[in-house]
Structure 1
Amino acid sequence: MKNMVMASNMTNNGNNILDGGYDDAAKLIMGQLLSNPLFSGGALLSIAGFLMYLINWAWNFGYGLFRQRVYEYVIDHINENSKWETQNLQVNTTLNQKETGASRLSHKLIPGFGYHCFYYKNRVIYFQRALERGEHAMVRNEQKMMESIVLSTFCGSPEFWKQFLDDASMAYHKALDKGLTIYTCASSMSWGVSCNLRNKRPFETVILDDGIAEKICADIETFNSSEKWYLDRGISYRRGYLLYGPPGTGKSSFIAALASHLGYDIATLNLTCLLNSIDGIASAEKRILFMTTNFKENLDEALIRPGRVDLQIEFGNCTPSMTKKMFSRFYENNVCEKNVKEFCEATSELEKPFSPAQLQKHLIVYKNSPKAAIENVRELQ
Structure 2
Amino acid sequence: MWEPTVFKHPATFETLAMEPELKEFIMKDLDTFVERKEFFENVGRAWKRGYLLYGPPGTGKSSLVAAIANYMRYNVYDLQFQSVRSDSELRRVLTSTTNRSILLIEDIDCSTKVTHDRTKANENSDEEDEDELKRPMGLLNFIDGLWSSCGHERIIIFTTNHKEKLDSALLRPGRMDVHIYMGYCSPAGFRKLASSYLGIKDDKLFGCIDDLIKSIEVTPAEVAQQLMISDEPRVALQGLIEFLNTKKKDTEEAATEEKVKSIKEEETEEKKVERENSELAESETRCIYLT
Is 1:355 matched with 2:219? yes
Q: Deviations over 1:323-349 (max 9, x none)?
A: 1221122221xx473x2x413423523
User: For the Cα contact (< 8 Å) 1:206–1:254, is it kept in 2?
Assistant: yes
Q: Which residue does 1:305 correspond to in 2?
A: 172
Q: Deviations over 1:257-300 (max 9, x none)?
A: 22112211111224454334312443333211111111111111
Q: Which has the higher helix share?
A: 2
Q: Which residue does 2:66 correspond to in 1?
A: 256
Identity among equivalent pairs (%): 37
Change (3 A) 1:197 1:241: closer
Distance 2:161 2:3 in 1: 27
Per-residue deviation, 1:204: 1.2
Give secondary structure in 2 for the equivalent of 1:211: helix
Give secondary structure in 2 for the equivalent of 1:216: helix
User: For the Cα contact (< 8 Å) 2:47–2:153, is it kept in 1?
Assistant: yes
Q: Which residue does 1:365 correspond to in 2?
A: 229
Change (3 A) 1:317 1:375: same
Per-residue deviation, 1:197: 4.0
Per-residue deviation, 1:199: 4.5
Q: Which residue does 2:108 correspond to in 1?
A: none
Change (3 A) 1:343 1:219: same
In the alignment, structure 1 segments of 5+ residues that lack a partner are 1-137, 139-190
Give secondary structure in 2 for the equivalent of 1:365: coil
Corresponding letter in the other structure for 2:3:
G
| TM-score between both structures, scaled by the size of structure 1 | 0.45
Give secondary structure in 1 for the equivalent of 2:243: helix
User: For the Cα contact (< 8 Å) 1:243–1:315, is it kept in 2?
Assistant: yes
Give secondary structure in 2 for the equivalent of 1:205: coil
Decide which of 14, 38, 41 is 1:228's aligned counterpart.
38
Corresponding letter in the other structure for 1:321:
A
Q: Deviations over 1:204-226 (max 9, x none)?
A: 11121121111111111111111
Distance 1:355 1:336 in 2: 20
Per-residue deviation, 1:245: 0.8
Give secondary structure in 1 for the equivalent of 2:66: helix
Decide which of 286, 292, 295 is 2:153's aligned counterpart.
286
Corresponding letter in the other structure for 1:241:
Y
Decide which of 167, 185, 188 is 1:318's aligned counterpart.
185
Distance 1:346 1:336 in 2: 13
Q: Which has the higher strand share?
A: 1
Q: Which structure: larger Rg? A: 1
Change (3 A) 1:344 1:258: farther
Q: CA RMSD in A?
A: 2.1
Pairwise mapping of residues 90-239 of structure 1 onto structure 2 (< 5 A)? 138=1, 191-193=2-4, 195-239=5-49
Change (3 A) 1:349 1:200: closer
User: For the Cα contact (< 8 Å) 1:244–1:251, is it kept in 2?
Assistant: yes
Is 1:245 matched with 2:55? yes
Give secondary structure in 2 for the equivalent of 1:192: coil
Count of aligned residue pairs for this structure pair: 186
Corresponding letter in the other structure for 2:140:
L
Pairwise mapping of residues 334-353 of structure 1 onto structure 2 (< 5 A)? 335=200, 337=202, 339=203, 341-349=204-212, 351-353=215-217
User: For the Cα contact (< 8 Å) 1:320–1:344, is it kept in 2?
Assistant: no
User: For the Cα contact (< 8 Å) 2:53–2:181, is it kept in 1?
Assistant: yes
Distance 1:373 1:217 in 2: 32
Pairwise mapping of residues 75-94 of structure 1 onto structure 2 (< 5 A)? none
Change (3 A) 1:299 1:202: same
